[in-house]
């Protein structure tokens, strides 16, 4: 499991061109500017969380979405490291060392609704606690 995660992280950060067997950057505008600590996949999107501020030309603030072409924002991110990510098909759960998610108070764990259009904090629900690993199913996150 650990080896698969390391390979997946390398695929996200550096990209892999299978035909040429050469590594390349992920996204039109490059990878991330600091460490990736967590990944989760929802459909064709890959969500990355970590110590980074920038993902390509996108100011992700510790969390960003790679849509197969380039990096996209996830709300306005968090104000600290994201160490764990999980999703249940609709919601994205982030855990780490932060006190704000989406611009509103959070205590190290938050839920982001990926199916709605962002609007002033309404897409973020707050929980509290410490988390290093997360799992989600049926609208419930487990830490």
As a three-state string, the secondary structure of the chain is: CHHHHHHHHHHHHHCEECCCCEECCCCCCCCECCCEEEEEEECCEEEEEECCCEECCEECCCEEEECCCCEEECCCCECCCEEEEEECCCEEEEEECCCEECCEECEEEEEEECCCCCCCCCCEEEEECCCCCCEEECCEEEC
Task: Please give the chain's pLDDT, 143 residues, in tens.
Answer: 555 555 555 555 555 455 556 777 788 888 899 999 999 999 999 999 999 999 999 999 999 999 999 999 999 999 999 999 999 888 899 999 999 999 988 888 888 988 864 443 444 554 555 555 565 555 555 55
pLDDT of residue 32: 92
pLDDT of residue 4: 52
pLDDT of residue 59: 95
pLDDT of residue 117: 46
pLDDT of residue 52: 96
């Amino acid at each position: 499991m650990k080896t698969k995660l390391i390979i997946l992280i390398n695929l996200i950060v550096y990209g892999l061109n299978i035909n040429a067997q050469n590594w390349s950057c992920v996204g039109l505008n490059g990878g991330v500017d600091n460490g990736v600590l967590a990944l989760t996949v929802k459909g064709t999107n890959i969500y990355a969380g970590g110590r980074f501020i920038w993902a390509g030309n996108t100011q992700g603030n510790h969390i960003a979405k790679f849509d197969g072409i380039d990096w996209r924002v996830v709300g306005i991110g968090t104000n600290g490291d994201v160490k764990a990510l999980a999703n249940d098909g609709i919601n994205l759960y982030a855990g780490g060392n932060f006190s704000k998610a989406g611009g509103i108070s959070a205590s190290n764990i938050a839920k982001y609704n990926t199916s709605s259009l962002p609007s002033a904090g309404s897409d973020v629900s707050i929980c509290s606690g410490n988390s290093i690993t997360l799992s989600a199913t049926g609208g419930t996150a487990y830490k």
